[in-house]
């Protein structure tokens, strides 16, 4: 259980870095060619894509002054720490 949680948290962190510094490692990768369907199968890391999208939206909102990112992060950490304990 702890390994799965750690992997999920690592994927979220990688998604955040995908937004800040794109193309570090792809969140979507081609796996193999399926000759029967005449398509290339694609593996999608949804956790990384969703966390990258959320980070991008937060950065845009911060840029336009709709939210204060430092207060948002402090509130998020406080809520997560209270829900874990």
Where exactly are the structural domains of the chain? 2-84
**What is the distance between the terminal CA atoms of the chain, rounded to a whole angstrom?**
17
Which residues make Cβ contacts (< 8 Å) with residue 36, sequence separation at least 6? none
Residue scoring higher pLDDT (45 or 58): 58
Q: Is 32 left (phi over 0), alpha (psi -120 to 50) or beta?
A: beta
Q: For the chain, what percent of residues have pLDDT higher than 90?
A: 4
SS3 for 29? strand
> What's 21's DSSP letter?
S
For residue 24, the model assigns a pLDDT of 59
């Amino acid at each position: 259980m702890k390994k799965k949680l750690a992997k999920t948290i690592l994927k979220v962190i990688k998604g955040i870095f995908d937004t800040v510094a794109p193309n570090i490692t792809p969140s979507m990768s081609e796996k193999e060619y399926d000759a029967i369907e005449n398509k290339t199968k694609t593996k999608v890391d949804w956790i990384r894509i969703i966390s990258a999208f959320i980070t991008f939206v937060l950065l845009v909102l911060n840029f336009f002054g709709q939210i204060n990112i430092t207060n948002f992060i402090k509130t998020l950490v406080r809520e997560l720490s209270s829900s874990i304990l």
